Amino acid sequence: MGLWIYLDGKFVNEKQAKISVFDHGLLYGDGVFEGLRTYSGKIFRLDEHIERLYKSAKAILLEIPVSKEEMAQIIKKTIKKNKLKDSYVRVVVTRGKGDLGLDPRKCPQPSVFVIASKIKLYPEEYYQKGLSVVTIATRRNLTESLNPAIKSLNYLNNILAKIEATNAGAMEGLFLNNDGYVAECTGENIFIISGNFLYTPPISAGALDGITRDTVLQIGKTVGLSVSEKLLTRYDLYNADECFLTGTAAEIIPVTLIDGRIIGSGKSGSLTCKIREEFHKIVLEEGVPIY
C-alpha cells in the first residue's frame, strides 16, 4: 500500500502524492522544512520544531496556511495514519503554484505536506568507530546572503559540500565560514570536548540553531562539563579530546578523523558515549505522546 502522505488537507497514498511542476518550491527551492523524530510513540521537541518552521517561514515572507496548533495535529495524524512508533517526519511548506517568474506574489496558495517514514543516515558501526570528516572548499552561506538559520528548500550549499566530502572519500564535510572559522557539517552541528570543556560554534558563525544541539548543550552541563559557544578553528578540532556531530536524523555520532588527523583515541570517546546515553533517556522522558 505504501506510505500515507498528508498533502494540502487530505491523506493520499505516496504514489498519488504529487505537486505541480509550477510549484516554486520545485522551480526555485522557495519554501521551508523541518525534520522531527519519534521514539516509542513520542515526538521529540515537537513545539520547538514547529516554532522554528514558522520562524523560517516568516523570514522569507511565507505565510503557512495552518496554525501552529493545527500543524501539531497534522504531524500526529500523519504518524498515526502510517502506524509508526519510531520514525522520521519531514514537514514541508512550499511557496505553491505560480508562473515561471520569481515573484512570490504570483503564488496565491502555499502547499503543505508531511511525510512520516524511516531514515538511517549512517550505519550503526559508525556510532562506535566514528566518522571521517574533511574540510570542504565550499564555504557556508553568508548570513547576509542566505541566512543558514532559515531551513529553506534551497539546500544546494549543503549538497555541494556533501558531493565534495563524498568525492574525497569521507563520510561528512566540514563547513568553514567566510572568516575561516568552523560553522558546521553538511547537515549536522559539530561539538568538541577538550578537557572539561564542551564547545560548539555560535549561531553567528553560520551554524544552524539545532534542536539536538540545544539538547546537548543542556546535557553537557548535567554531566559536569563547562559548556560554551565559541569560535573554533580547525586547529581546535584537530587537538580536541573528542568530537561529535548532532542532528535530528543523525542524533549524536562521534567523529574520529578530521583531514587525516586522528581525534583523541581514534574511537568514540567516553564523554560522547555518556552524552548519547543521556540523550536517549531524554527523548523518551520528554517526548510528546502520539497515541
Residue 258 has pLDDT above 90, yes or no: yes
Any idea which residues carry the catalytic annotation? Answer: 151
Cell numbers of 56, please? 523560517
pLDDT band at 123 (very low <50, low <70, confident <90, very high): confident
| Average pLDDT of the chain, as a whole number | 96
The H or E element spanning position 246 is strand 242-247
| Domains in the chain: ranges and CATH | 4-117 (3.30.470.10), 126-286 (3.20.10.10)
Helix (H) or strand (E) holding 91: strand 87-94
How confident is the model over 146-197, as pLDDT tens digits? 999 999 999 999 999 999 999 999 999 999 999 999 999 999 999 999 999 9
**Which is it for the CA torsion 75, 28, 162, 231, positive or negative?**
negative
Q: Give the pLDDT of residue 208.
A: 93
Count of alpha carbons within 13 Å of 11, Cβ hemisphere only? 14
C-alpha cell at 205: 558563525
**pLDDT in the model for residue 11:** 98
The model's confidence at residue 119, banded by pLDDT at 50, 70 and 90, is: confident
User: What pLDDT is recorded for position 120?
Assistant: 83
Taking the whole predicted model, whether its pTM rises above 0.85 is answered as: yes
Question: Is residue 1's pLDDT more than 80?
Answer: no
- Mean pLDDT along residues 20-41: 97
Instruction: For the beta carbon of residue 286, count every other beta carbon within 10 angstroms.
Output: 11
- How many angstroms separate the Cα of 66 from the Cα of each of 101, 109, 136? 26, 12, 39
Q: How far apart are the C-alpha atoms of 276 and 176, rounded to whole Å?
A: 26
